[in-house]
Amino acid sequence: MLKKKTIEDIDVSGKRVLVRCDFNVPQDENGNITDDRRIVAALPTIEYLVNHHARVILCSHLGRPKGEFNMKYSLMPVAKRLEELLNKKVPLSKDVIGDDAHRLAKELGEGDVMLLENVRFHKEEEENDMAFSKALAELADVYVNDAFGTAHRAHSSTEGVSKYLPAVCGYLIQKEIEVMGKALNNPIRPFVAILGGKKVSDKISVINNLIEKVDTLLIGGGMAYTFFKAKGYEIGQSICEEDKVELAKELMEKAEHQGVKLILPIDNVVAKEFSNDAERKIVKSSEIPNDFQGMDIGPETVKLFAIELQSAKTVVWNGPMGVFEFDNFAIGTNEVAKILSSLDATTIIGGGDSAAAVEKGGFADKMTHISTGGGASLEFLEGKVLPGIACLLDK
């Protein structure tokens, strides 16, 4: 359970409330937002504050402007989208902590909403500079963090301001922690984790932590080939982290010792070269030809994973099963998304490519929870303390 105070635990009426959101949304070359999921995800918190007569000051980063005012990364498109979604004016300040931000903040009436310009226009933001944190805090009476996607970073707007203002979380962070926390600490069993992605090194801590908690661990994606190497298989031209082969052996031994089923792909889609239209074939995991590279899990593996998932009651999935950006090698990932959509279980998708696959396949509404933070959800699955959450007031 969440042991941190939420917006419902404090009086916000008439107060200026600084809300850190994650409005880092993708745009096309003309500055049109191509996916507004992160903006929509922030609405319950914003609407609660508006309905409870707060004066709402939203802030976020967008892209990597490297500490300079660069209008390519302006939050203007976000302000416009917020106006449409909230059906009210959302002025954007010309600066972050300057005269314009202070003027707009002063002019806010109860239930009004404004948006600060991109906090990363100041290099001090990512440095978690105390003076900058204090200047941000001076705009408001209360701080709300609702940006789970950046909660693993200790920046001024995610952690620093909490030293100067009473700090609580919004509904989005509350949901992330409660759903994922329950899965990790008190899951309904059987508990199955599916891990994919390119590298074992990215997921070592996650695998280590999950082996202590799950009943079954299904491994796909590029990192499977490092495990194959550890088993003594020939892997052809497949991606492999040579310096992690011993570690892969140790992880397999640890799983066996803990009585956890660690299941690797039994067949793979392999290709002559790294491109969507490359010559491809399906081979057993132990028989990858020398001049081919692994690109996706094969159909027999999909069937095997489906059998393992059929009885699951809690499933956490992080990372694609193959080279998801190529349609011909996205089949394994899409099949896993499809299997999860049909389960009678708690299904948690850990952001990133897994979330994209679920969205793309039209299965989003069939999942219990899709995390809004790739890096943050990974660190949460590792069992790490996230600074943007640790800094909030305890209940």
Q: Name the maximum alpha-carbon separation found in the chain.
A: 69
Active site residue 189: no
Contact 32, 84 (CB under 8 A): no
Q: Choosing from 199, 249, 261, 366, which is the catalytic residue?
A: 199
30 in helix, strand or coil? coil
Residue 257: Cβ within 10 Å count: 9
Per-residue DSSP letters for 47-112? HHHHHTT-EEEEE---S--TTS--GGG-SHHHHHHHHHHHTS---B-SSSSSHHHHHHHHHPPTT-
Structure tokens at 217: 């661990």
Active site residue 38: yes
Q: Residue 127: which region, alpha, beta or left (left: phi > 0; alpha: psi -120 to 50)? A: alpha
Nearest to 60 by CA among 48, 45, 42: 42
Q: Choosing from 38, 175, 203, 229, which is the catalytic residue?
A: 38
Q: Choosing from 67, 111, 181, 375, which is the catalytic residue?
A: 375
Alpha-carbon distance 273 to 285, whole Å? Answer: 18
Structure tokens at 99: 């005269």
Strand order in the sheet with 267-271: 280-284, 267-271, 293-297
Q: Which residues contact 375 (CB under 8 A, 6 or more apart)?
A: 149, 152, 351
Q: Choosing from 196, 294, 352, 361, which is the catalytic residue?
A: 352
Burial class (CB in 10 A: 0-12, 13-18, 19+), 328: middle
**How large is the C-alpha radius of gyration of the chain?**
23
Nearest to 180 by CA among 356, 387, 351: 351
Do strands 16-20 and 55-59 pair parallel, antiparallel, or not at all (unpaired)? parallel
Active site residue 375: yes
Active site residue 199: yes
* Active-site amino acid positions: 38, 199, 352, 375
